[in-house]
């Protein structure tokens, strides 16, 4: 399963958010995308998610891509957790029967058994994040895209998320994560990309890329 964009540019209002970004991602890769705010990390993830079609260049993805919706962006506060699971699941491309099958494991992973029938507007941000993560991961995507979320939830949940991500890796999937957490990149990623003002400043071994990035600041 290869993710293969060449010369991918992406323009927002005559501003090129990404320029000449080219890379290949293979099965089993955990790619950390680092860079300052505004460097284009989120834009890159969005291009991979299909949210922005590239203005020039190609994005070739083999497999199902699932974005991690930041803090439940797809959630309707006036609906219950249950309704939102279905709505979000269908939004992410699952069929109703698939959601039925995964429903209890989603609720269990998010630890929301007692709250699932309450309206989401009563949830804490931690609960929303857990639910969002649980739904995205249950989709069993081939490629998981994460935009700086992994700081949410308590220690126990973070541990669970980490475990789930590791299971992910074993299934020969890929993860692309945009983050400021250099420790995470060093520890978990096997590839790193440093984006600076929309261009690739460095790419390759996480240890080296992180070092270069830190040397610049």
Partner 1 sequence: MGAAKRLVIVESAKQLFRRFDLVMYLVISHLKVNYQNLVLGYIWWVLNPLLWVLVYWLLVSVIFNRGQPNYPLFLACAILPWRAFATSISQAITSVSGQERLIKQVAFPKSVLPLSVVLSNSVNLLFSILVLIIVALAVYRIPPTVNLVFLPVIVLVQITFTLGVAFFLAAVGIYFVDIQNMMQFILRVWLYLSPSLYGIERIPARFRSVFMLNPFAPIFMSYRDVIMYGQAPALGPLSIAFLIAVGVLVLGFWLFSRQEQKMAKVL
Which residues contact partner 1 (rule: CB under 8 A)?
A: 11-13, 46, 49-53, 67, 69-70, 73-74, 76, 78-79, 83, 86-87, 90-92, 95-96
Taking the least distance from each CB to partner 1, the nearer of 39 and 202 is 39
Two tokens, residue 215: 């040397």
User: What element of type H or E holds 157?
Assistant: helix 155-170
Q: Rounded to an integer, what distance in angstroms lies between the CA atom of residue 170 and that of residue 61?
A: 20
Taking the least distance from each CB to partner 1, the nearer of 49 and 107 is 49
Taking the least distance from each CB to partner 1, the nearer of 18 and 210 is 18
Taking the least distance from each CB to partner 1, the nearer of 46 and 102 is 46
Q: Read out DSSP for 100-153? A: HHHHHHHHHHHT-TTTTTSBGGGS-HHHHHHHHHHHHHHT--SEEEEES-TT-S
Closest separation in Å from C-beta 91 to partner 1 = 6
Quick check: 213 and 34 in contact, CB under 8 A? yes
Closest separation in Å from C-beta 98 to partner 1 = 11
Taking the least distance from each CB to partner 1, the nearer of 48 and 209 is 48
Quick check: 93 and 173 in contact, CB under 8 A? no
Closest separation in Å from C-beta 97 to partner 1 = 11
Taking the least distance from each CB to partner 1, the nearer of 39 and 149 is 149
Closest separation in Å from C-beta 180 to partner 1 = 19
With a CB cutoff of 8 Å and minimum separation 6, the contacts of 158 are: 150, 151
Closest separation in Å from C-beta 170 to partner 1 = 26
Q: Rounded to an integer, what distance in angstroms lies between the CA atom of residue 98 and that of residue 150?
A: 26
Closest separation in Å from C-beta 96 to partner 1 = 7
Q: Rounded to an integer, what distance in angstroms lies between the CA atom of residue 71 and that of residue 125?
A: 7
């Amino acid at each position: 399963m290869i993710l293969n964009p060449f010369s991918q540019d992406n323009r927002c209002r005559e501003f090129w958010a990404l320029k000449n970004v080219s890379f290949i991602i293979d099965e089993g890769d955990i790619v950390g995308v680092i860079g300052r705010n505004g460097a284009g990390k989120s834009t890159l993830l969005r291009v991979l998610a299909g949210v922005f079609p590239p203005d020039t260049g190609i994005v070739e993805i083999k497999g199902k891509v699932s974005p991690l919706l930041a803090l439940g962006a797809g959630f309707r506060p006036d609906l219950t957790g249950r309704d939102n699971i279905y709505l979000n699941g269908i939004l992410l491309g699952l069929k109703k029967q698939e959601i039925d099958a995964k429903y209890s494991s989603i609720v269990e992973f998010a630890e929301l058994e007692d709250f699932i029938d309450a309206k989401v507007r009563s949830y804490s941000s931690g609960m929303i994040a857990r639910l969002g993560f649980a739904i995205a991961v249950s989709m069993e995507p081939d490629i998981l895209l994460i935009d700086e979320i992994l700081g949410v939830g308590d220690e126990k949940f973070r541990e669970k998320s980490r475990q789930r991500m590791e299971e992910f890796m074993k299934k020969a999937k890929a993860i692309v994560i945009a983050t400021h957490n250099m420790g995470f990149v060093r520890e978990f990623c096997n590839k790193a990309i440093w984006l600076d003002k929309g261009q690739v400043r460095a790419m390759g071994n996480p240890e080296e890329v992180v070092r270069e990035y830190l040397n610049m600041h």
